Structure 1
Amino acid sequence: MATGERLVDPYRNFRFRVEIEDIEIGGFSDVTIPDSSSDVVEYREGTEPPYVRKLSGLNKYGVLTLKKGITDSLELYKWREQIEDTGAKDLRKNISLILIDEEGAEKSRWEIIEAWCSKIEYSGLSAKGNEVLIETLEITHERMDRVS
């Protein structure tokens, strides 16, 4: 580090906001940011040196996972139910994941493009427990961009 430079602390992972196009949700307790990878295509022609070239192939994105406590809101459930009934074609939405600093300012943003709920799951019920009932959504999507 150069003389006079200020050390910048990394952002914490516990202050964030999720925006789902036209769906109002109070908040999520956990969000798993999807991974991004590119297939490796191995290629070699007979006249080339005796090694395989590595070419980039298709880009792939992992599943976005959202977890929240169950409330009276049925919006996410209704979205999933519509997808079950008619397919995802006209029900895709854009989702924003926003990282917030200690002062509440937006610091980083990921845009999840053409997303749809491919799975909904609930934590178990127990008469002996006192945990919050959790709704987990797996969101499949076409692309992810980190815009800030």
Structure 2
Amino acid sequence: MPATVPPEEEVLMVEFPANPTRLDPYKNFNFRLKWDGKYVAGVSKVSALKRTTEIIEFRDGGDSSASRKSPGRTEYAAITLERGLTQDSAFEDWANMVWRLGAGLGSEVALADFRKDVYLEFYNEAGQVVLAYKIYRCWPSLYQALPPLDANSAEVAIEQIVLENEGWERDAAVVEPVEPS
């Protein structure tokens, strides 16, 4: 039988400490991405930030009925960025740093600076930064310059880049702002 907590001992979980009357979680449509100290124009979609930790199972020699689990290597999933096709060449310029066709032997890859740290800012409905993530040592493993073209379609042309990364963390310096009333 579960223990009941007397009302005087109940602990209220405040999900928004600076805005305790806020009930709704943040919406996922208000964000900006930055690399090389500049915001990247027109990014309309960013895939989820995901990490997976390998499970190492083992058993004690004398205990044949139970296995134990321990954390192993952690891997960070690639991040896909999408945006409507424009004249801004930021995606292509970065992809060309990883491999430039016809650049000549030894200069196809910009080894010194093809990796970049990326900064992802997440905003509330009032346009205030509420969360931010630092994504480390990114480089493009896939660049899609054009989508499949279809003369019978009325869709926006989407450019895509997939970024490999070596980890990310929440920026602890970004704190919840007091929201305007």
- For Structure 1 versus Structure 2, the TM-score category normalised by the shorter chain is 0.7 to 0.9
Supply the RMSD in Å over aligned alpha carbons: 2.1
TM-score (norm 2): 0.72
Per the alignment, residue 90 of structure 1 pairs with: 113
Structure 2 residue 134 is matched with structure 1 residue 111: yes
**Deviation, structure 1 residue 43:** 1.5
**Deviation, structure 1 residue 125:** 1.2
Structure 2 residue 156 is matched with structure 1 residue 141: no
Structure 2 residue 158 is matched with structure 1 residue 124: no
Match of residue 55, structure 2, among 33, 40, 44: 40
Q: How many residues are treated as equivalent by the alignment?
A: 146
Taking structure 1 as reference, are residues 7 and 124 closer, same or farther at Cα in structure 2, changes over 3 Å only? Answer: same
Structure 2 residue 86 is matched with structure 1 residue 63: no
Taking structure 1 as reference, are residues 23 and 79 closer, same or farther at Cα in structure 2, changes over 3 Å only? Answer: farther
Give the Cα separation in 2 of the matches to 1:56 and 1:120. Answer: 33
TM-score (norm 1): 0.87
**Deviation, structure 1 residue 97:** 1.3
Taking structure 1 as reference, are residues 72 and 7 closer, same or farther at Cα in structure 2, changes over 3 Å only? Answer: closer
* Structure with max Cα Rg: 2
Report which of the two has the higher share of strand.
1
**Identity percentage over the alignment?**
27
The one-character-per-residue Cα deviations of 1:44-91 (angstroms, maximum 9, x if unpaired) are 231345311101001111111100011112221021112012166631
Taking structure 1 as reference, are residues 51 and 86 closer, same or farther at Cα in structure 2, changes over 3 Å only? Answer: same
Give the Cα separation in 2 of the matches to 1:42 and 1:23. Answer: 45
Structure 2 residue 42 is matched with structure 1 residue 18: no
User: Deviating runs (4+, > 2 A) in structure 1?
Assistant: 5-8, 21-25, 47-50, 87-90
- In structure 2, the gaps of 5 or more residues are 1-10, 13-19, 100-107, 173-181
- In structure 1, the gaps of 5 or more residues are none
Give the Cα separation in 1 of the matches to 2:44 and 2:34. Answer: 14
